[in-house]
Amino acid sequence: MDLEEELEILINETQEDKEPIIIAKSMWAILALMLMVEKNIKPKKCVFMWFPMWFVDRSDFPFEEYLSQIEIPILFIQKTNDPTGRFEDIKESLIWFSDKFSFKEIPWSNHEYDDLPELKKIILEYLG
């Protein structure tokens, strides 16, 4: 995945909406962080599913610097034992960055969309 190329696509998609809502899975959550910090896009809310903690742990991505600049609500939906990051590890790593971050655990051990109706329900409740 070419992060810069994908970031440009996201910029073009969000330019017309003054308060976009970003829903992103896995590496797209990293792109959303880049969009908010590097390009000053201010969504109303974000939902990050299956957050790729493995990428954060194994790269030089300025994760802590970026998260400390985020001032909008973000819901992190993570599976109990997702191979890219366990729910408890994600929550422990991220909870102290903002009181606007919330967390929802889904009981599975993979990185797939297993129960779309449940996922839809969680997201719609969060977005209000």
Tens digits of residue pLDDT in 59-84:
898 989 999 999 999 999 999 999 88
CATH number of the domain bearing residue 77:
3.40.50.1820
Confidence of residue 14 (pLDDT cuts 50, 70, 90): low
More confident residue, 105 or 108: 105
Contact 112, 83 (CB under 8 A): no
Structural domains of the chain, count = 1
Contact 48, 73 (CB under 8 A): no
The verdict on residue 11 lying in a domain is: no
Q: What is the pTM of this model?
A: 0.85
The verdict on residue 101 lying in a domain is: yes
Token code pair at residue 24: 């992103």
The verdict on residue 119 lying in a domain is: yes
Phi/psi at 104 (5° precision): -135, 125
